Amino acid sequence: MKNHFSRVGFILAAAGSAVGLGNIWKFPYVTGEYGGGAFVLVYLLAILFIGLTVFLAEAVIGQNAQSDVATSFIKTSKSKNQNWKFAGFIIFSGLIILSFYSVVLGWILNYVFTSFGTLPSDSKTAGSAFETLISKDIASQIIYHTVIAGSVIFIVLKGIKRGIEKINLILMPLLGLILLGLLFYSFTLDSFSTALNFMFYPDWSKIDSNALLAALGQAFFTLSLGVGAIMTYSASLPKNANFVKSSIIVAIVDTAIAITAGLIIFSFLFEAGAQSSAGPGLVFISLPVIFSGWGVLGQVISISFFVALVFAGITSAVSMIEPSLKFFIERFNFTRKKATILCGGIFYILGIIALLSMTIAFKDSLTFFGKNAFDWMDFMTSSVMMPLAAILTCVFLGYFVDKELLRRIFTAHVSLTVFNIWYFLIKFIVPIAIITLFLNKLGII
């Protein structure tokens, strides 16, 4: 792909991929489920020591090889061994994520439309409205999922990804502004200090291996790691561009947005007297109730907020499918159309299964070992496949790539000390940390 990004273009594309539902929908609700403070701290440590390290790993492989994920592994390896193409399998997690991500984007789209009507004025009404959508309204969910999936497919088919990025150049700052405005507003609420306490006062008794794994999974999910998205985008980054600085900027922006969203959503939630453990419905319960007290202005803010979120999510969605498309196009000579139909079809159908698995009608037949299909897709990707892909990437760079090559690339931008720290994290700390966590979770240690 000779279609290069500028460095700013790369930052925008990577930030577009990173910033999405992971920050505003998922981060608050997993934080709520795992009891707040301690989870947030573990999450921040995971971002700093593991997420950023793996982000740099994917960026350096992509930028150096300038190819699809499978070819990038082969090209970067010391031996140029063709078998490294199997590492390319990590891209398929992107399709699984995309399937349930599209369903959630569908819910958001639904909230854009319902914001034109009367917003629920208390958390009970808001909660049951969400519950009804998820558990009973199969038709609406399928329609919204189809609209979202169709848009994603249309965008990648027409290759108008850059067009979407232009739209986001307006909508992302808008999202940022709305978030800032809401943050300032939440300062005025009595519940702000409760929210602050909830998010930053660590209660270590709530931390077990499940919480640690969830924090790690969230760190990967939010930074778009372990599915080849960042590697694919870095493949379009000019070889001499400073990928380290770009990566750090993206990680900071992503983290700032997640924390801001968390503070707002918990302030609103506690103000409305609702429970922090509300699960995937959290954002849909806390925001509308506060907006409903503001009359027409509340509706305008609600609509703008959910619209901006749909677009933020669409750029993330596009980055989940792009690695698979590039793979089929470059390695199997598929046309873009054929690749899109195949990958689009897969995620669309998986999405239908995901949404049906939460409905009363199909719940029983789509629940396996106590988890419904939606939760399985989320769990298997965030908590299993992404961490495994991260181990693979670290072991690859630490043991199968020429250290001199990496040192040369890094020290063009950062000091030798920074490189050595990164290399030590990649070679020992990150793989050992993730493996220990897995073994602990499995009850082996």
CB of 154 to Na ion, least distance (A): 23
Given the complex with ligand PFF, which of 22 and 106 has the nearer CB atom? 22
Given the complex with ligand PFF, which of 129 and 152 has the nearer CB atom? 152
CB of 369 to ligand PFF, least distance (A): 24
**From ligand PFF, Na ion, none, interface partner of 227 (C-beta below 5 to 8 A by class):** ligand PFF
CB of 373 to Na ion, least distance (A): 23
Q: Does 18 bind Na ion (CB under 5 A)?
A: yes
CB of 152 to ligand PFF, least distance (A): 12
**From ligand PFF, Na ion, none, interface partner of 270 (C-beta below 5 to 8 A by class):** none
Q: Does 217 bind Na ion (CB under 5 A)?
A: no
Query: Where on the chain is the footprint of ligand PFF (CB under 6 A)?
Result: 17-18, 20-23, 94, 97, 221-222, 224, 227, 229, 316, 319-320
Contacts of 25 (CB under 8 A, 6+ apart): 104, 108, 280, 282, 283
Q: Does 23 bind Na ion (CB under 5 A)?
A: yes
CB of 292 to ligand PFF, least distance (A): 26
**From Na ion, ligand PFF, none, interface partner of 21 (C-beta below 5 to 8 A by class):** ligand PFF
Q: Does 222 bind Na ion (CB under 5 A)?
A: yes
What is the per-residue binding string for Na ion in 247-266, x denoting contact by CB under 5 A?
A: -------x------------
Beta bridge partner(s), residue 371: 368
Given the complex with Na ion, which of 22 and 288 has the nearer CB atom? 22
Q: Which amino acid is at 158?
A: K
Structure tokens, 210: 């499940």
- Sole residue written with tokens 């629920």: 120
**From ligand PFF, Na ion, none, interface partner of 33 (C-beta below 5 to 8 A by class):** none
Q: How far is residue 309's CA from residue 240's CA, in Å, rounded to a whole number? A: 33
Find out whether 311 and 167 touch, Cβ atoms under 8 Å: yes
Given the complex with ligand PFF, which of 20 and 36 has the nearer CB atom? 20
Applying CB under 5 A, which residues contact Na ion?
A: 18, 22-23, 222, 254
